[in-house]
Structure 1
Amino acid sequence: MQDCFAMRVPKAEGRRQKAEGRRQKAEGRRQKAEGRRQKAEGRRQKAEGRRQKAEGRRDFSPDIVS
């Protein structure tokens, strides 16, 4: 069995697939991080809304009404 180019092609193909897998893995990590950022942003907005709501309640305290 002689070593010819046709036998060496699959090795290059495997390397290409491996690189593609690494790229996909990195992309997945990026998406995951982005999701975490969005989630944190949502939590911040929610907390801000709660603060504003509490401030609004403070403004309408019954001692002002005479």
Structure 2
Amino acid sequence: MAGTRFRSLPRENPCAQCGRLIALPEWVETEPGRTFYLWRCMACDYRFESVAYFDSEEADNEAMAA
């Protein structure tokens, strides 16, 4: 998660299998215009990815903030 601001991380995402809330993603990887999140549920040990896509203006702002 190097380079990712802790306060900007998504929080309390529900598990895709059991629905229990996951406090924070286990791994974050960023590319221009999108960010990948790896989630792991501590209750059922299910792992899944989610992707956030940003419009070009938001991606430019993220690049300048890093």
Interval containing the TM-score (normalised by the shorter chain):
under 0.3
- Could you say which structure has the higher strand fraction? 2
Q: Which has the higher contact order (CA 8 A, sep 6+)?
A: 2
Answer 1 or 2: which has greater helix percent. Answer: 1
TM-score by length of 1: 0.18
